[in-house]
Amino acid sequence: MRLFHPHAEPPSPGGSLVAGRLAILDGLRGYFLVFMFLNHLTFTGGYLLVLLNHAELAFVEGAQGFVFLSGLLAGLVHGRRMARHGLGTATVAIWNRAAEIYAYALGCVLIILVLQTLLPGSWVYWHHWLGDLHFGRGRHVAASALLLYQPDYLDVLPQYVVYLLATPPLIWLCLQGRWAWVAGGSIVLWLAVQLGAHLALADAVARLLPLRAYFNAFAWQLVFVAGLVLGTAMIQDRIDWSRLFRADRPQLALVAAMTVLFFAIWRVWSNHFAMPEAVEARLRALANRGEFGPVYLLNFVALAYLVTWVVRLGPATASIPLRWLAYLLDRLFKLSFLRLLGRHSLQVYAWHVIAVYLLKAVDENWGPFGEIGKTAIAVAGIMLLAVPAWMLERTKAVPRAGKLQPAFASRPIDPRP
């Protein structure tokens, strides 16, 4: 796929999407999962390992990349399915996936609520994450089942359910050449949130059932739909990547680099130094993470373009630092561990939420820990993220004929977030 590698051709509409050609996408999803775990992990007094994070230098975090890649793969895989087998077949597959994600989200909530009844004091140290959600509050449990009252760190999964329910008609429109309507509608919806058009709806819902959600799905859909439109265009071979990414014309990459550097300065300033009150207020208004404000949008677009340019064209440039950076990024995103996580991202994400809640209980009951202890726990947690992925790989390693296959054999990629 030429978007991510300088020598590979984009998949033709009749070609097969195999893990070897899209391995870097699995690796990217695994990379984002690791850093979401580190960002969500909490210790008394904080911990230093979390500072080794691209989010410290940009208004871009794992969640944005994760949502974008899910949309991209939905367009690539389900778009191909729809083109071959029709709208009905693709819709059944997509909505079955939405039902599976809903089941995982609901299962995680139930597990956490059961743990809440078993662990003494958990109501106190989980209250900030759960709000008023517990078995004694039926309205809150019902609202959670309806995806309206969302515990912290589980609020990404309800987004996917909503997005996948809307995915079939969006892909169909893109396949019919009406991608501009899809992109334009997505942009208008994002702009409506930025201007507060959703507030009346939120107030109306809150009068009926408790409402708690950090991510605004009407705003974050822009990231998912952008990936979906791009993925659908790729299977139709409608994008000339050689015009967007050219080593002999690096002007766009230079603009992206300057934008990334600009936002890095503001990120470091806001994280580690005092800002004038008026400046801080303006930044808060434009960098609303829950509503994917303009600062997050611009920084994400610039960084995504720059990283893609470096990985795709860096090896062909005369710059030794760029060649090394491209090599390191390519090797990083193709690590077998990250690809393993990415192939089973739903199960890994659900497992990481339970792990974060349990480790919070460990810190509250047996902490505080020293910096070495915190680092050891964090690293062990990263390694344990692979447990559900490894179990699924071992299960799938036994084919129908009963002959064992390697646990990490290449397999067709799917659009699972």
pLDDT digits (tens, 9 = 90+) for 51-98: 888 888 899 988 999 999 999 999 999 999 999 999 999 999 999 999
Render pLDDT for 20-29 as a digit per residue (tens, 0 to 9).
446 788 999 9
Which structural domain, as residue segments, surrounds residue 270? 29-60+241-353+364-396
Q: What is the mean pLDDT of residues 119-143?
A: 90
Q: Residue 66: how many CB atoms within 10 A of its CB? A: 24
What pLDDT score was predicted for residue 153?
A: 92
Report the percentage of the chain scoring pLDDT > 90: 65
**Any domain includes 246:** yes
Q: Is the pLDDT of residue 393 over 70?
A: yes
**371-389 mean pLDDT:** 94
Establish if 44 belongs to a structural domain. Answer: yes
Look at the chain and report how many structural domains it folds into: 2
Assess whether 268 and 170 both reside in one domain: no
* pLDDT grade for 35, boundaries at 50, 70 and 90: very high
pLDDT of res. 399:
54
Please check whether residues 35 and 156 belong to one and the same domain.
no
pTM of structure: 0.86
In this structure, the answer to whether residues 158 and 304 fall within a common structural domain is: no
Q: How crowded is residue 324: how many other Cβ atoms within 10 Å of its Cβ?
A: 12
pLDDT at 8: 36
pLDDT at 137: 87
Whether the pLDDT of residue 354 is over 50: the answer is yes
Q: Which tens digit of pLDDT belongs to each residue from 276-321?
A: 999 999 999 999 999 999 999 999 999 999 999 998 888 888 888 8
Check whether residue 322 and residue 289 sit in a common domain.
yes
Instruction: Please report which confidence band the pLDDT of residue 7 belongs to, taking 50, 70 and 90 as the band edges.
Output: very low
Distance between CA atoms of residues 209 and 150, nearest Å: 12
Q: Is 240 exposed, middle or buried (0-12, 13-18, 19+ CB in 10 A)?
A: exposed
Of 239, 273, 300, at which residue does a domain stop? 239
CB 139 within 8 A of CB 155: no
Confidence of residue 43 (pLDDT cuts 50, 70, 90): very high
Task: Please check whether residues 267 and 377 belong to one and the same domain.
Answer: yes
Q: What is the 3-state secondary structure (H, E, C) of the chain?
A: CCCCCCCCCCCCCCCCCECCCCHHHHHHHHHHHHHHHHHHCCCCCCCHHHHCCHHHCCCCCHHHHHHHHHHHHHHHHHHHHHHHHCHHHHHHHHHHHHHHHHHHHHHHHHHHHHHHHHCCCHHHHCHHHHCCCCCCCHHHHHHHHCCCECCCCCCHHHHHHHHHHHHHHHHHHHHCCCHHHHHHHHHHHHHHHHCCCCHHHHHHHHHHCCCECCCCHHHHHHHHHHHHHHHHHHHCCCCCHHHHCCCCCCHHHHHHHHHHHHHHHHHHHHHHCCCCHHHHHHHHHHCCCCCCCHHHHHHHHHHHHHHHHHHHHHHHCCCHHHHHHHHHHHHHHCCHHHHHHHHCHHHHHHHHHHHHHHHHHHHHHHCCCCHHHHHHHHHHHHHHCHHHHHHHHHHHCCCCCCCCCCCCCCCECCCCC
Q: Specify whether 279 is located in the same domain as 313.
A: yes
Q: Is residue 19 part of a domain?
A: no
Cβ-based burial of 249 (10 A; exposed 0-12, middle 13-18, buried ≥19): exposed
Answer yes or no: do 309 and 213 share one domain: no
Q: Are residues 373 and 324 in the same domain?
A: yes
- Does residue 46 have a pLDDT over 90? no
Q: Looking at residue 298, what is its pLDDT?
A: 96
Domain boundary among 239, 260, 282: 239
- Whether residues 48 and 98 fall in one domain: no
pLDDT(161) > 50: yes
Considering the domain architecture, whether residues 200 and 92 belong to the same structural domain is answered as: yes
Residue identified by tokens 């050689």 is 242
* Inter-residue contact 262 to 110 (CB < 8 Å): no
Which candidate, 125, 289, 111, places its Cα nearest to that of 214? 289
| Within a domain: 252 | yes
158 plus 209 within the same structural domain? yes
- In a domain, residue 321? The reply is yes
Tell me, yes or no, whether 185 and 99 share the same domain: yes
Query: Which three-class secondary structure state does DSSP give residue 318?
Result: coil
Q: In whole numbers, what is the pLDDT of the chain averaged over residues?
A: 86
Last residue of a domain, one of 204, 239, 274: 239
Specify if 3 maps to a domain. Answer: no
Residue 11 in this model has a pLDDT that exceeds 60: no
Is 319 buried (19+), middle (13-18) or exposed (0-12) by CB count in 10 A?
exposed
φ, ψ of residue 147 in degrees (nearest 5) = 70, 20
Lowest mean pLDDT among 23-37, 99-113, 264-278, 399-413: 399-413
Q: Is residue 414 part of a domain?
A: no
pLDDT given at position 397 = 66
In a domain, 323, yes or no: yes
